[in-house]
Amino acid sequence: MEYLLIFIAAVFVNNIVLAQFLGICPFLGVSKKVETALGMSSAVAFVMTLSTIVTYLIQKYVLDVFGLGYLQTICFILIIAVLVQMVETILKKASPALYQALGVFLPLITTNCAIFGVVLMVIMKEYDLLTSVVFAISSAAGFGLALIIFAGIREQLSLTHVPKAMQGAPIALITAGILAMAFMGFSGIV
């Protein structure tokens, strides 16, 4: 039951993008097409889950044991960067079309504050490894849900008449705000 509550809270109530405002760069940048949003969501999910596991183990069995907690930030950033490079290499070989579609946004996962935020929250909340993985997967699902919904809305907006002054970033930000307010409706669930 605890894991279900963590999942619902991370996906709907405390959505990493819409409630905590982490990961806004890819949220706004890669949300013009649903295909690209799906690819980015899966890449972020993979990196977020794997980096949570690795950083948790490094924190508990290296940094805490040897009193090197002050190296946490640099260690976590390096781990995330290495994992992103691994995902980039895999995507380049496995799915060149998706690799091209993500373009410059794939390296941005390295500096995606949603991933860094999740690995830090896991440590701050003092979760065990299984709970950390559930939280990471749930946060990634919430990120993906918000990104895909937003991409779908933006695709529909591209087919409608939007006043010239509202085209592009203005309508995207207004839409993101309305989407965030819609997700606030879930706040009483957990």
Output the DSSP codes for 155-168. HHHHTS---GGGTT
d(CA 177, CA 112): 20
The predicted model scores a pTM of: 0.88
Taking CB atoms within 8 Å and a gap of at least 24, the contacts of 150-158 are 150/27, 150/31, 150/37, 150/175, 150/176, 150/179, 151/30, 151/31, 151/32, 151/33, 151/34, 151/36, 151/37, 152/34, 153/179, 154/31, 154/32, 155/32, 155/33, 155/34, 158/32
Report pLDDT for 188: 81
How far does Cα 190 stand from its chain's mean position? 21
Report pLDDT for 133: 97
Report pLDDT for 1: 86
Report pLDDT for 47: 87
Residues in the chain with pLDDT values less than 70: 102-105
The answer to whether the CB of 54 falls within 8 A of the CB of 79 is yes
Report pLDDT for 103: 67
Report pLDDT for 30: 77
The answer to whether the CB of 16 falls within 8 A of the CB of 23 is yes
Name the 3-class secondary structure at 190. coil
